[in-house]
């Protein structure tokens, strides 16, 4: 099979590899599409600990072509999406149900070979069936969607809440749709790219702010008077992360969803958290939310197709990675099967 190999930081190629072996509890998936995630870019640049060489890719869909002898619940021919995050089930956190905080968390496409290949072998229990009315392109976005659903759980958006989303990339555009589905009243979006603002409006954002030409703080308080009930940072930038608590109302919630580089610091007045009773929370991966992601795709409450901005054949991985790091990209899919 053909596969993308990251051999060392900043070095990758498309190579011939043998089709992975299938253990007794594994499912072999003929990969349809695999999304490029920010994490893949971090892995490429050596900013994320992985086992090199690795076949990256953890946002993928495909068809089951073989199952191990002990596998039940998944069979050859099933159309599936994969939850890439694997936990040990026995650590302090797993035994309290907080599996995303597992002390031994590993992931397909990070610690094991992933979806930028024609075939991927994964533990069958990581596999989720998709219904007929969900395409394999859509199913490739089930993983980022499942992470966004956890974010919504953490943010606790209530019916009628004013939700402010900072950054309308792929993740922001999914979060906007989830906020709408959760019954948010007013949805505000701050995003410099006009095309992404247009999509945000399509998905239910009523107030569009251009941070490159407007004073975000002033505009948000003009619209809301008191600040937003929930502020979601989904730009992954120090500047927006620093601004987010200032945009929340008294008693409001700030969700840090974007991945800001670990060496970046922001200043925050503890007095503000105290006096304004702010709730500041994070959201990490997708504990028990993958099935709900499939449900949201099936019921069409989230439309991920407009979020897919580019599709590349695996042979063009170099161009795909370049575009994924550019401003015009929203979600880039690498298509494993040509023709
Ligand atoms: Zn654990």
Tell me the two tokens of residue 210: 């251009």
Please report which helix (H) or strand (E) contains residue 150, including its range. Answer: helix 142-155
147 CA to middle of ligand 1, Å? Answer: 18
| Digit-coded pLDDT (tens) for 51-91 | 789 999 999 999 999 999 999 999 999 999 999 999 999 99
Task: Please indicate, yes or no, if residue 92 is contained in any of the structural domains.
Answer: yes
The pair phi, psi for residue 82, each rounded to 5°, is -115, 130
Return the bridge partners of 14, or none: 4
50 CA to middle of ligand 1, Å? Answer: 19
* Total residue count of the chain as it appears in this document: 339
Give 61-86 as a DSSP string. Answer: EEEEEEE-TT--S--TT-EEEE--EE
Task: Please indicate, yes or no, if residue 291 is contained in any of the structural domains.
Answer: no
If you average pLDDT over residues 107-124, what whole number do you get? 97
- 114 with 98, same domain? yes
97 CA to middle of ligand 1, Å? Answer: 9
If you average pLDDT over residues 199-212, what whole number do you get? 98
Which three-class secondary structure state does DSSP give residue 87? coil
- 132 with 156, same domain? no
94 CA to middle of ligand 1, Å? Answer: 4
pLDDT for 82: 98
Please report which helix (H) or strand (E) contains residue 23, including its range. Answer: none
92 CA to middle of ligand 1, Å? Answer: 7
214 CA to middle of ligand 1, Å? Answer: 45
Can you give the CATH number for the domain in which 27 is found? 3.90.180.10
If you average pLDDT over residues 183-190, what whole number do you get? 98
Task: Please indicate, yes or no, if residue 292 is contained in any of the structural domains.
Answer: no
If you average pLDDT over residues 115-129, what whole number do you get? 98
Residue 291 has pLDDT above 80, yes or no: yes
102 CA to middle of ligand 1, Å? Answer: 3
Residue 338 has pLDDT above 90, yes or no: no
If you average pLDDT over residues 174-196, what whole number do you get? 98
What's this model's pTM, rounded to 2 decimal places? Answer: 0.97
pLDDT for 232: 98
If you average pLDDT over residues 293-303, what whole number do you get? 98
300 CA to middle of ligand 1, Å? Answer: 33
Task: Please indicate, yes or no, if residue 294 is contained in any of the structural domains.
Answer: no
pLDDT for 48: 78
- 168 with 239, same domain? yes
Task: Please indicate, yes or no, if residue 75 is contained in any of the structural domains.
Answer: yes
282 CA to middle of ligand 1, Å? Answer: 19
- 33 with 69, same domain? yes
- 108 with 39, same domain? yes
- 160 with 200, same domain? yes
pLDDT for 47: 82
Rounded distance, CA 58 to CA 40, Å? 8
- 207 with 97, same domain? no
259 CA to middle of ligand 1, Å? Answer: 22
285 CA to middle of ligand 1, Å? Answer: 14
- 194 with 104, same domain? no
- Using pLDDT thresholds of 50, 70 and 90, give the confidence band for residue 328: confident
Per-chain mean pLDDT for the chain: 96
- 137 with 152, same domain? no
- Using pLDDT thresholds of 50, 70 and 90, give the confidence band for residue 195: very high
pLDDT for 46: 85
- Using pLDDT thresholds of 50, 70 and 90, give the confidence band for residue 259: very high
CB 240, CB 209: distance < 8 Å: no
- Using pLDDT thresholds of 50, 70 and 90, give the confidence band for residue 219: very high
Report the 10 Å Cβ neighbour count for 264: 12
Residue 285 has pLDDT above 80, yes or no: yes
106 CA to middle of ligand 1, Å? Answer: 10
Question: How many structural domains are present in the chain?
Answer: 2
113 CA to middle of ligand 1, Å? Answer: 21
- Give me the domain span that covers residue 124: 2-141+304-335
Rounded distance, CA 69 to CA 88, Å? 22
If you average pLDDT over residues 122-144, what whole number do you get? 98
CB 243, CB 217: distance < 8 Å: yes
If you average pLDDT over residues 127-134, what whole number do you get? 98
Residue 339 has pLDDT above 60, yes or no: no
Number of H helices, E strands in the chain: 10, 17
Task: Please indicate, yes or no, if residue 290 is contained in any of the structural domains.
Answer: no
Q: Considering the chain, what percentage of its residues have pLDDT values greater than 70?
A: 100
């Amino acid at each position: 099979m053909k596969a993308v190999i990251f051999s060392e930081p900043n070095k990758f190629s498309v190579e011939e590899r043998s089709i992975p072996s299938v253990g007794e509890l594994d499912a072999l998936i003929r990969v349809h599409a695999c999304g490029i995630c920010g994490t893949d870019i971090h892995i490429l640049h050596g900013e994320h600990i992985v086992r090199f060489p690795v076949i990256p890719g953890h946002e993928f869909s495909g068809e089951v072509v073989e199952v191990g002898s002990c596998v039940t619940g998944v069979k050859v021919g099933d159309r599936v999406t994969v939850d890439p995050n694997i936990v040990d089930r026995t650590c302090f956190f797993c035994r309290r149900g907080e599996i995303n905080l597992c002390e031994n968390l590993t992931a397909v496409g990070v610690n094991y070979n992933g979806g930028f290949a024609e075939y991927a072998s994964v533990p069958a229990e990581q596999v989720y069936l998709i219904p007929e009315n969900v395409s394999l392109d859509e199913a490739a976005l089930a993983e980022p969607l499942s992470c966004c659903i956890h974010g919504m759980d953490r943010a606790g958006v209530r019916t009628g809440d004013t939700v402010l989303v900072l950054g309308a990339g792929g993740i922001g555009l999914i979060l906007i749709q989830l906020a709408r589905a959760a019954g948010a009243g007013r949805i505000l979006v701050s995003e410099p790219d006009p095309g992404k603002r247009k999509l945000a409006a399509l998905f239910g954002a009523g107030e569009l702010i251009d941070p490159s030409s407007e004073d975000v703080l002033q505009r948000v308080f003009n619209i809301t008077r008191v600040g937003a009930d929930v502020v979601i940072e989904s730009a992954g930038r120090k500047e927006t992360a620093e601004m987010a608590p200032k945009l929340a109302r008294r008693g409001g919630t700030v969700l840090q969803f974007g991945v800001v580089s670990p060496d970046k610091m922001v200043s925050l007045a503890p007095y503000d958290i105290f006096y304004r009773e702010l709730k500041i929370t994070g959201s990490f991966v997708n504990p028990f939310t993958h099935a709900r992601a499939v449900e949201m795709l099936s019921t069409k409450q989230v439309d991920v197709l407009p979020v897919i901005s580019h599709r590349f054949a695996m042979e063009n991985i170099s161009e795909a990675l370049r575009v994924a790091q550019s401003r015009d990209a929203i979600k880039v899919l690498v298509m494993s099967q040509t023709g």
